Every structure is written in structure tokens, then in C-alpha cells.
Amino acid sequence: MHIEFQPIATADKASSYAHVLAAVQALTEGERDAVANMANTAALLRESFRFWWVGFYLVRNGELVLGPFQGPLACTRIAKGKGVCGTAWDKAATILVPDVELFPGHIACSAASRSEIVVPLMRDGVTIGVLDVDSEHLNHFNETDQSYLEQICAVLVAGSDF
């Protein structure tokens, strides 16, 4: 399956996300393998927004284990309730962190990361993993990121065999 994707040059974050969302929809229509779809989703997001780090952690035997990602090396395992990722899992809710230094227990995989958003992957009301996006800029994420990243995760989960 070959999908053409050209990141569009626009200052409009919502338009860029709409483009990525459509691409994820197209990807999952042609492929149901979860690893393949997570890998391409991470690539789409990093190519489109130049985020510092974009990746997935999956729930495996009671902890989060690193999955497909784009960016620098990252921690491989995160316990439930620990860090931003473990907290998003525990609360089954998206967590926006404008300044990682102000988030108690933040896990610094990379010293360059300054702000972060973590979205849970939900299947039948159960968190099966998280999408983590890091920025080297403070206060980089807002409700637009949250809304689109949640939609992207919903399309990814519905269209993949996890």
C-alpha cells in the first residue's frame, strides 16, 4: 500500500492536523497491523509539525512499554501512575503539560523536552496504550492539539488490530 503524503506548508495548525487525520484514515483503510500504523502515524506527525519526539507506549503485562516512535532514544518502560504517560494511563485522560518542570514526577527521557501532551489509546473503554508528543518549546500544545490528537488516536485504534 502506497500513500502519497506531502506535509502542507501552512501556519494553520488545524489545517495541518486535518491533513494528518485524513492521512491516518487512509493508512488504516489499507492496513490493519497496529505496529505499521503506529509507525506511520508517528512519522506523519513528526514530518508535519517537527515535534521533538512522537511515539507510542503500549500496555504490556501491567506497564507501559515503548512502541513505534520518531525522535531521540526514549525510556522503555513506565509504571502505571508514573510520569505523564503513566498518569494519562491511570486517569484514562489526555494530559497537557505546558512546562514539564512543573509536572510532579515527570520522566525526562530527553533533557530538551519542555512541554508535552499525552493521549490515551482507548479500546472499549480500556486504555491499551498512549500517544506521547514532546516539544522543545514551552507551552507548545493547546486544545487544538488535544482535539486532533484524540481524533487521530481514535481512528488509529478503530482501524488497527492491537
DSSP, res 158: H
Q: Between residues 104 and 125, which has the closer beta carbon with respect to ligand SME?
A: 104
Shortest CB 31 distance to ligand SME, Å: 25
Q: Which of 42, 116, 148, 152 binds ligand SME (CB under 6 A)?
A: 116
Shortest CB 34 distance to ligand SME, Å: 19
Place of cell 512522537: 54
Q: What are phi and psi of 99, to 5 degrees?
A: -140, 110
Question: Is-contact 129 56, C-beta < 8 A?
Answer: yes
What is the footprint of ligand SME within residues 38-77 (CB under 6 A)?
Answer: 53, 74-75
Q: What are phi and psi of 34, to 5 degrees?
A: -65, -40
Binding site for ligand SME (CB under 6 A): 53, 74-75, 78, 83-86, 106-107, 109, 113, 116, 132, 134
